[in-house]
Amino acid sequence: MFKLPDRMEEIWLLKAKGLREIDIAENLDISKQAVNKALKDARTKLFEMFLSLAEVFGFEVVRINAEKGFMVATSRELKKRIYFFYIPKMGIRAFFEDSKFPEYLLKHSLELGLTKNLKKEELIEILET
Amino acid sequence: MINMKLKDVRPMNFSGIPFVLVVISFTIIIVLPRVTPENYWPFWIFGWIVLFASWGTGAEVEKDFIVLKYVFGKLKIKIPFSEIEEITTINKLQKGTIAKYFKWEIILFMILVAYALFDLIILPHGLLKGYYFGDIGLIVFGLFYISAFTIPFSKKKITGIFTYSFVLLAVLMLYLKIGSITADDILMFIIMAFVLTVAIWEVYSVEYVVIRTPRRLYLITAKNTEEFIKALWKVAQNVQTT
């Protein structure tokens, strides 16, 4: 399963929620350098995960955001948009544009500040702009 | 360690030092001849050299960095892969626009259009038509780039409609300025429409990729982003193992 190590995930999630590196360091009682290193590693790992998925399944990559942990891609076979999200403790989850977005995904997007409401349309608008 | 040239990838001059060079060159090329009408040629040529220098000449992967080359290959801007937060092919987004990412570029074109319009208004009557066409050309091409960068790439037809309507606007501006339109003027407008067609083709013939780091945004164009994405994948794997 594509998943970040627990500690790295914790640091990445705090940053994705908008905390500054210095605040994360204070919260977790670690050095700012350790936070910075963990975030760099997390970004690289997320890029690698998303790009590997796209390569293996032959998806056309449109957008990869390692800061908030999502990828927008297109399935060449189905000619459909697919949205990938890195969800803490779950790993990467994929959703077709015409599928129902589960509540946990909408809540996750709200927590990260991607959206202001629990609405699929709002989330897609953000991802596609 | 990976070292490879990124084929058909060209960095754009929309941010950082290259954008500063664009602002300097525009100022020298457009404003200087008005301020100092005599002996501006050496500066004017220098302005064009500065503009060419701002253009990206190529890009490559050097170890864990993406390297963008400017100033005839002399200026290298290195982007550490681990600092990249986002990579987006703007033209493939449903509502992607360059304006969302590079507002200063749009502001620059707005200033250019406003300056040319002001200059056109204050130009006296009875001059050679080239003076009027110079300003009208700047207005039309400025408006074209503002439209092309502000209207989503998916709405290409709307950009096309706007673009050709600017030619009609150009006819109106000349008529209001000199009070008549001759056959020679019509020929100039046909040439203007042709050049705009080439400009539309040029804008839509490449893909636009934005690279975002915590400090800066970079724009590159590529004939096909597939190769670029594959190169990134290799870099990501390389960074993982080192």
Please give the residue of chain A at the shortest CA–CA distance from B64.
A44
Q: Which of residues 65-84 of B touch A (CB under 8 A)?
A: 81-84
The pTM assigned to this predicted structure is: 0.91
- CA separation for the pair B196, B113 (Å, rounded): 16
Per mean pLDDT, which range of A17-31, A58-72, B30-44 is the poorest? B30-44
Report the pLDDT value the prediction gives residue B229, as an integer from 0 to 100.
86
When scoring A20, A61, A121, A125 by the number of chain B Cβ atoms within 10 A, the one with the most, hence best to mutate, is A61
Report the pLDDT value the prediction gives residue B206, as an integer from 0 to 100.
95
Q: Which residues of chain B are within 8 Å of residue A114 when distances are taken between CB atoms? A: none
Mean pLDDT calculated for residue range A30-38: 96
Report the pLDDT value the prediction gives residue B242, as an integer from 0 to 100.
47
Q: Which residues of chain A are within 8 Å of residue B226 when distances are taken between CB atoms? A: 60
Helix B129-150 × helix B103-122 angle, to 10°: 160
**Number of folded domains that form chain A:** 1
Q: Is residue A1 part of a domain?
A: no
Q: Is residue A67 part of a domain?
A: yes
Closest Cβ–Cβ partner in B84, B93, B240 for A128: B93
Q: Which residues of chain A are within 8 Å of residue B227 when distances are taken between CB atoms? A: none
Which residues are bridge partners to A61 per DSSP?
Answer: A73
Q: Is residue A115 part of a domain?
A: yes
Q: Is residue A118 part of a domain?
A: yes
Mean pLDDT calculated for residue range A75-88: 93
Report the pLDDT value the prediction gives residue B31, as an integer from 0 to 100.
83
Report the pLDDT value the prediction gives residue B240, as an integer from 0 to 100.
57
What are the mean pLDDT values of chain B's consecutive 10-residue runs (242 residues total)? Answer: 84 95 94 80 91 95 92 94 94 95 96 95 89 94 97 96 96 93 94 97 95 95 88 79 48
Q: Is residue A83 part of a domain?
A: yes
Q: Is residue A93 part of a domain?
A: yes
Mean pLDDT calculated for residue range A74-97: 94
If pLDDT is split at 50, 70 and 90, which confidence band does A60 have? Answer: very high
Domain span at A104: 6-127
